[in-house]
Structure 1
Amino acid sequence: MKKVFLSLLSATFLALGAQEAAAQTPYRTAIGIGIDVGDGPTLVGPQIKHSFGGANAGNAQVLFGDDIITLGVDYSYNQQISGTNGLGWYVGVGPQLTFVDDRRWFGDEDQTYFAIRPAAGLEYKIPTAPIAFHFDWKPWWNLTNNSSFEPARFTLGFKFTIK
């Protein structure tokens, strides 16, 4: 069983590696505004996304809400959807720190939360303009202070792209 699993894992990495060489994000770096919505508070703030070449990219954001500040970074695997001009999909994951100064949202005063945020979404880069948009499902998996999982979280992003 172990040999079969390792063989399948190796084949998967080889297939992804072959696709990665051909996959390119439509821009190198983008800066803009991120909006995190869903159950709980709505958060808004600046974000930056940078392509590391091929299908690999990183995203960082600082989001603000009522008595809440969230710092997060994500890795994402990005692919363009063939037959479209500027539309792509991505999956990713990253850590997040949330600082809360109020009992209103999470029940404790002055708490820091560490969470993991997986993401799956779509991104559209307007081919004739330096503008991109994204929408993703990004659940919040809190690992501290009475661990919890919030599946109903989504993000919207509006970015200015830099080639």
Structure 2
Amino acid sequence: MKKFFTILCLTFIATAAFYSSSNAQNYKNAIGGRFGAANGVTFKTSVGADKMLDIIANFRSTHDYNYFRLTGLYEIYNPIADAPGLGWYYGFGGSLGSVKYKPTSSSDLYLSVDGVLGLDYKFKDAPINLSLDWKPALELAPDTGFDASGLGLSIRFTF
């Protein structure tokens, strides 16, 4: 199952990068790590003057379960006046993944509808981007619920 999601993620990233254009954040693409409640890899690409697509492949391991998920977010960017390189963004998307329960070795499909609200900073003289955001999720499977623990810091290389 992990191989399927990895191939899907790489295919989606390559397609998004091919169709990308410039954006208001002074970078076209960015790739790096996301650290927080779940750690993983993040790739952003421009899809318009002030819009970006953020693809996140992450994992979480606890005492009770492991999960892997792929998240796609459509984000709208707004500059902050008198703060060059700094902007705020909001958006929506969804996650698809798998959950494996440790005590029983059983697994389930993970599915959610996600939102995002954050700050984004691009260093002027370096190819580095930082984002701090909150990504709440309405979980649809394997159980329904609201996950508000999606605070994360992303550090990316821009190109």
In the superposition, the TM-score normalised over structure 1's length comes to 0.75
How far apart are the structure 2 equivalents of 1:75 and 1:108?
34
Query: 1:132 touches 1:158 (CA, 8 Å); kept in 2?
Result: yes
Check 1:101–1:145 CA distance in 2 against 1; reply closer, same or farther (3 A cut).
closer
What displacement does 1:135 show? 0.7
What displacement does 1:103 show? 5.0
Q: Which has the higher helix share?
A: 1
What displacement does 1:120 show? 0.4
The one-character-per-residue Cα deviations of 1:43-82 (angstroms, maximum 9, x if unpaired) are: 2121110012211110111112222111111100011111
User: Which one of 58, 69, 80 corresponds to residue 53 of structure 2?
Assistant: 58
RMSD of equivalent CA atoms: 1.9
The one-character-per-residue Cα deviations of 1:10-49 (angstroms, maximum 9, x if unpaired) are: xxxxxxxxxxxxx722211001011242xxxxx2121110
Query: 1:25 touches 1:51 (CA, 8 Å); kept in 2?
Result: no
The aligned counterpart of 1:9 is: none
What displacement does 1:157 show? 0.3
How far apart are the structure 2 equivalents of 1:100 and 1:62?
14
How far apart are the structure 2 equivalents of 1:34 and 1:127?
21
Where does the alignment leave 5 or more consecutive residues of structure 1 unmatched?
A: 1-22, 38-42
How far apart are the structure 1 equivalents of 2:39 and 2:134?
16
How far apart are the structure 2 equivalents of 1:151 and 1:65?
15
The aligned counterpart of 1:136 is: 133
How far apart are the structure 2 equivalents of 1:116 and 1:108?
26
Alignment-mate amino acid for residue 35 of structure 1: F
In the superposition, the TM-score normalised over structure 2's length comes to 0.77
How far apart are the structure 1 equivalents of 2:123 and 2:80?
14
How far apart are the structure 2 equivalents of 1:56 and 1:108?
40
Give aligned pairs, total: 133
User: Which one of 102, 120, 124 corresponds to residue 123 of structure 1?
Assistant: 120
Query: 1:132 touches 1:161 (CA, 8 Å); kept in 2?
Result: yes
The share of aligned pairs that are identical, in percent, is: 29
Matched, 1:149 2:146: yes
How far apart are the structure 2 equivalents of 1:58 and 1:96?
13
What displacement does 1:108 show? 9.0
Alignment-mate amino acid for residue 102 of structure 1: Y
* 3-state SS, counterpart of residue 141 of structure 2: coil
The aligned counterpart of 2:20 is: none
